Structure 1
Amino acid sequence: MSVEQPYRPLDCRHYDALELACLRGDRLHVELRDGQVLEGQAAGLQTEVDKAEYLRLHTDNGEQRIRLDQLQAITAQDPQVFAGRMVFD
């Protein structure tokens, strides 16, 4: 995914929920701002030199890196992580 716009960090509560999902290796349904939908196992968060942060997601098509400010919403397949669908402002 090529994104030309400057990175906008996530709110801490959203970042914390993603971090917990990655630690547990939870399965996520991920909706992106461009309308794309992905499903896979949360594998980790990664920060690049330019301070942009990414979610690493293991999908059936291999690992995907998703820039966090491109997230529209996520739904954990395990409701113990967070309740329902989390929408990113």
Structure 2
Amino acid sequence: MMKIEPIACELHDYIEIACMYGYLVKLTLTEHRSLEGKAIDVVTEQNKREFLVIDNGERQKVELSKIVEMETRTPGAKFQSIRFK
């Protein structure tokens, strides 16, 4: 069974802020992929894996452990860019 690596609490706070204010974010993921969309919510599945839900025309779940960087695209956001790894 694969061990789930939770992200640091302070990083979790930034994700919560992005969701609370509905920021447009650009996520840089492992495997050099990136996604953009509006931060909607954080969900935890039964197996304790956590996901950020973004809306970019459709709702997508992004596993928090796969996020390398989150940049805000919303003017006047409370933060600009957060590195996770």
Match of 1:69 in 2: 65
Deviations 1:45-73 (A, max 9, x none): 0011111110001013x111001000010
Q: CA deviation at 1:7?
A: 1.8
| Structure number with higher helix proportion | 2
TM-score scaled to structure 2, two decimals? 0.90
Q: Is contact 1:17-1:81 (8 Å) kept?
A: no
Query: Residues 35, 5 of structure 1: CA spacing in aligned structure 2 closer, same or farther, 3 A cutoff?
Result: farther
Q: Are 1:37 and 2:37 matched, yes or no?
A: no
% same residue? 25
What secondary structure does 1:34 align onto?
helix
Deviations 1:21-47 (A, max 9, x none): 101111001100111110000010001
TM-score scaled to structure 1, two decimals? 0.86
Flag structure 1 segments of 5+ consecutive residues without an equivalent.
none
> Aligned partners of 1:16 and 1:32: how far apart in 2?
18
Q: CA deviation at 1:5?
A: 4.2
- Alignment-mate amino acid for residue 87 of structure 1: R
Q: Is contact 2:23-2:38 (8 Å) kept?
A: yes
1:7 to 4, 8, 26: 4
Flag structure 2 segments of 5+ consecutive residues without an equivalent.
none
